[in-house]
A and B are shown apart, each in its own frame.
Chain A
Amino acid sequence: MKNDKPRETKLLIENLSKSYLVQSEEVRALQAINLSIADGEFVAIVGSSGCGKSTLLKIIAGLENGYTGTLLLGKERIAGPGLDRGMVFQEHRLLPWLTVENNISFGLKDRHSKASAKTVSEHLDLVGLSGFAQAYPYQLSGGMAQRVSIARALVNQPQLLLLDEPFGSLDALTKIQMQQEVLRIQEVEKTTMILVTHDIDEAIFLGDRVVVMSSRPGTIRKIIPVELARPRDRSSYEFAQIRRAVYQEFFVEAENPFAYQI
């Protein structure tokens, strides 16, 4: 189903570079990034901390300036943040003084209309929190809060959902549950998604392609397609093979993590 027909390009990144000035010295954060993401695709970007993967996501979000290169969303150049992109951050970043319902409607233009109320309740349903409309963020668990933040990011029907290590602070079990949630949501909403993570398993479990980045300067080292049917079995042989391929990009000379499994 994935490769039936060539899909339209949703996001095109051409020759993107970004550098910071640290004590009047130039530090290259990103260098010559080229990436094309198809409509409806799920791309997972993995890299060690400091490789610039979050910077890349922030540039796509429009929250960072001062880069060179072009970013095209559909046919439009990205210049600043916009409702065509939704973002989920590592922390849930909900407004603590608003109820779940009002947090979700926070980004809606006309939040008191009937249509808005309907949209909000649909998105509460989507993330499985229908009973929590009136709860405050402090009353939610980490996983629930992150679900609200996903609902908030989707409420304006963005063309692109950006996920910046969204499950990094969740416990292992909640994390797996949330990964399944995201897949389910993507199936329903068909939103193009870009996930930044340092969790290799997460990247392979979710991504249609895994983009491996290397650090200083941040460049794309390799793009590994994951042509496994969903739902993916993390303990299958094919999954392990892809995992090995990704591992080898990070630990070129290190031992093969599977060589000792007898």
Chain B
Amino acid sequence: MTRKTIRYTEKVKHVIQYFGLLTVLLVVWQVLSMLGFIQPIIMPPPTQVAVVFWELLKSGVMIRHIGISVLRVLEGFGIAVILGLLLGMAIGLSKTLARMTDLIIQVIKPIPPIAWIPLAILWFGIGEQSKVFIIFLGAFFPVIVNTIDGIRQTDQKLVEVARMLEVSRSRFIFQVVIPGAFPAIMTGLRVGLMVAWMCVVAAELIAASSGVGYLIMDARQLSQSDVVLVGMITIGIIGKLMDSLIYRIEKRAIKWKTAFTGV
């Protein structure tokens, strides 16, 4: 074999490894449904889900739901990122601020965003704001906690170098602390985004009339399990796409670091 064909077969192998397991699962699910082992009302076969998905897409209903959910996630996540990064950096750099805020963060962090729904409705009503607020709460803590941790893990050895060279405080922050914390910050963003998507469904429990979460809850009441699955899979796919996007940005920004990818 030539080197080119070896590289090609190598690539095909990787594609098969990447999609193989999922394909097998779908096939097994389909076959079991066709053989009558799985009731369509409990778990409709993949083909039926695909047909419903296509119909919802074609009618434009799906796009509207996706659009509104993506918008909510982006709003909530965006606010969480801005506040989380700014506060996280301030807390990470200041011992006093860390002492002042530690207890509050530790106590509020474990409260699930769903538990905030009653208060969110009281404070923001049943409009967009309360939904964005719930998503913000979910995404905020992973972002701020990882930012603080990243800054705290600044290499003491590099701090000594900076002291020896008498670098200014701003150069110290922007060239030693923040780049060092960058991988942790990116992890925070990725976890935050994931939680934001988890919170969409919870947020759209609040008197919503649109969004993927609403689609799922509405279909639940009508026992349309195929639509429920369409909604679930949609959230999964969009979540994965957004995560890949952040991962790409991270890879591009951290070209100085070679990550372990498994043996």
Contact = CB atoms under 8 A, between A and B. Distances in A.
Interface of A: 61-63, 81-83, 85-87, 89, 91, 93, 95-98, 106-107, 136-138, 152-153, 156
Interface stretch (B13-21, B132-140, B162-170): B162-170
Interface string B160-194: 11011111000100011001001000000000000
B192 to A, nearest CB: 23
Given A91-B157, A93-B157, A61 B257 contact: no
A82 B166 contact: yes
Contacts of A81: 163-164, 166
B111 to A, nearest CB: 36
Contact of A83 (B166, B255, B258): B166
A97 B167 CA distance: 17
Nearest to B171: A106
Contact of B179 (A87, A95, A137): A95
Contacts of B37: none
A107 B167 contact: yes
B164 A86 contact: yes
Contacts of B163: 62-63, 81
A61 B255 CA distance: 33
Interface of B: 157-158, 160-161, 163-167, 171, 175-176, 179, 182, 254-258
B258 A138 contact: yes
B168 to A, nearest CB: 8
A68 to B, nearest CB: 22
Shortest beta-carbon contacts, A-B, top 5: A107-B165, A97-B179, A97-B256, A136-B256, A81-B163
Contacts of B171: 106
A62 B163 CA distance: 9
A9 to B, nearest CB: 23
B164 A87 contact: yes
Contacts of A96: 256-257
A162 B182 CA distance: 31
9 contacts: A87-B161, A87-B164, A89-B160, A89-B161, A93-B160, A97-B175, A97-B257, A107-B164, A137-B256
Contacts of A83: 165-166
A93 B159 CA distance: 10
A156 B165 CA distance: 8
A46 to B, nearest CB: 23
Contacts of B167: 106-107
Contacts of B255: 136
B179 A63 contact: no
Contacts of A106: 165, 167, 171, 175
A89 B164 CA distance: 11
B186 to A, nearest CB: 13
Contacts of B175: 95, 97-98, 106
Nearest to B257: A96
Which of A82, A83, A86, A97: most chain B Cβ within 10 A?
A97
